[in-house]
Structure 1
Amino acid sequence: MLGSLFSSHKVRTSESLKGVILQSVSSPLSEDFIGFGPFNLNTQKRWKKPVVTARTRLEDRTRDLRLDKLMSQLKRLKMIIKLQELMLNRRGPYVSLQLLSRWKNIVGLNVGPGVFVQKYPHIFQIFKHPLNRSLCCKVTPKMLNLIEDEAKVIKESELLAVQCLKKLLMMSTRGMLHIHALRLIRRELGLPEDFRDSILLKYPDDFRLVDLETVALVSRNENLAVAEVEKWREKEYKEKWLSEFETRYAFQINFPTGFKIEKGFREKLKNWQRLPYLKPYEKKDVIRVNTCGGVERFEKRAVGILHELLSLTIEKMVEVERLAHFRRDFGMEINIRELLLEHPGIFYISTKGNTETVFLREAYCKGCLIDPNPIYTVRRKMLDLLLLGCRNTRKLQPQNEMKDGHNNMVCNAVGEGPIDGDWVIPILECVDDKKDGGDPHDTNNTCEKDLNEL
Structure 2
Amino acid sequence: MQSFAKPRALEPLRPLAVHLPSMSYVDVKMRWKKDASFDAVPVLSRARDLRPLVSLARLLSPSPTPVSVVSKLRSSLETPDRRVTSFLRRFPAAFVESVGPEHNLPWFRLPDAAVHLLREERDVFAAGRADVTGRLRRLVLMCPRRRLPLRVAQGMLWHLGIPEDYFKDPDHDIAQDGFRILTSGDGVTCQDDDGRELGLIGDGKGKEMPLSVLQLNAMRKFGSVAKVPVPLFQSKGLRLKRKIQDWLEGFQRLPYVSPYEDFSHINPGSDVSDKRAVGVLHELLSLFVTCSAERRRLLCLRKHLGLPQKFHLVFERHPHVFYLLLKEKTCYVVLKEAYMAGGDTAIEEHPMLKVRKKYIELMEQSQEIIRCRRNRKPIELQSMVSCSGDIEDCTEILS
1:382 alignment counterpart: 359
1:383/1:221 Cα in 2 relative to 1: closer, same or farther (>3 Å)?
A: farther
1:141/1:397 Cα in 2 relative to 1: closer, same or farther (>3 Å)?
A: farther
Residue 372, structure 1, aligned to residue 349, structure 2: yes
Offset of 1:184 from its aligned partner? 1.1
1:128/1:309 Cα in 2 relative to 1: closer, same or farther (>3 Å)?
A: same
Cα distance in 2 between the residues matched to 1:357 and 1:189 = 16
Picking from 244, 257, 267, the partner of 2:246 is 267
2:292 alignment counterpart: 317
Cα distance in 2 between the residues matched to 1:178 and 1:281 = 18
1:441 alignment counterpart: none
1:301 alignment counterpart: 276
SS at match of 1:151: helix
Offset of 1:318 from its aligned partner? 2.1
Q: Which amino acid aligns with 2:197?
A: T
Offset of 1:359 from its aligned partner? 1.1
SS at match of 1:359: strand
Picking from 285, 288, 301, the partner of 1:326 is 301
1:113/1:308 Cα in 2 relative to 1: closer, same or farther (>3 Å)?
A: closer
Give TM-score scaled by structure 1 length.
0.63
1:254 alignment counterpart: 233
Residue 213, structure 1, aligned to residue 196, structure 2: yes
Q: Which amino acid aligns with 2:164?
A: E
Cα distance in 1 between the residues matched to 2:214 and 2:261 = 14
Maintained 8 Å contact 1:340/1:347: yes
SS at match of 2:333: strand
Worse overlay, 354-363 or 118-127 = 118-127
Q: Which amino acid aligns with 2:250?
A: N
- 1:23-102 aligned at under 5 Å gives the runs 60-69=31-40, 70=42, 71-88=44-61, 93-96=63-66
Residue 137, structure 1, aligned to residue 108, structure 2: yes
1:150/1:287 Cα in 2 relative to 1: closer, same or farther (>3 Å)?
A: farther
Maintained 8 Å contact 1:155/1:192: no
1:236 alignment counterpart: 221
Q: Which amino acid aligns with 2:236?
A: T
SS at match of 1:123: coil
SS at match of 2:242: coil
Cα distance in 1 between the residues matched to 2:174 and 2:101 = 47
SS at match of 1:185: helix
1:304/1:210 Cα in 2 relative to 1: closer, same or farther (>3 Å)?
A: farther
Cα distance in 1 between the residues matched to 2:252 and 2:140 = 27
1:381/1:205 Cα in 2 relative to 1: closer, same or farther (>3 Å)?
A: closer
1:204/1:154 Cα in 2 relative to 1: closer, same or farther (>3 Å)?
A: closer
Picking from 156, 168, 179, the partner of 2:150 is 179
Cα distance in 1 between the residues matched to 2:137 and 2:80 = 38
Runs of 5+ consecutive residues of structure 1 not aligned to the other structure: 1-52, 239-243, 400-454
Offset of 1:274 from its aligned partner? 0.6
Maintained 8 Å contact 2:79/2:87: no
1:38 alignment counterpart: none
Runs of 5+ consecutive residues of structure 2 not aligned to the other structure: 1-26, 185-194, 370-378, 382-393
Cα distance in 1 between the residues matched to 2:91 and 2:360 = 11
Residue 126, structure 1, aligned to residue 97, structure 2: yes
2:130 alignment counterpart: 159
Give TM-score scaled by structure 2 length.
0.70
Q: Which amino acid aligns with 1:94?
A: P
1:330/1:111 Cα in 2 relative to 1: closer, same or farther (>3 Å)?
A: closer
2:326 alignment counterpart: 351
Q: Deviations over 1:377-408 (max 9, x none)?
A: 01111101212232535844754xxxxxxxxx
Offset of 1:230 from its aligned partner? 0.8
1:222/1:260 Cα in 2 relative to 1: closer, same or farther (>3 Å)?
A: farther
SS at match of 1:362: helix
Offset of 1:354 from its aligned partner? 3.2
Offset of 1:98 from its aligned partner? 8.1
Maintained 8 Å contact 1:150/1:375: yes
Maintained 8 Å contact 1:173/1:287: no
Cα distance in 2 between the residues matched to 1:200 and 1:302 = 33
Worse overlay, 350-359 or 220-229 = 220-229
Offset of 1:100 from its aligned partner? 7.8
Q: Deviations over 1:306-327 (max 9, x none)?
A: 1111111221112222222222
Q: Which amino acid aligns with 2:214?
A: V
Maintained 8 Å contact 1:249/1:277: yes
Higher-Rg structure is 1
2:19 alignment counterpart: none
Maintained 8 Å contact 1:66/1:366: no
1:362/1:174 Cα in 2 relative to 1: closer, same or farther (>3 Å)?
A: same
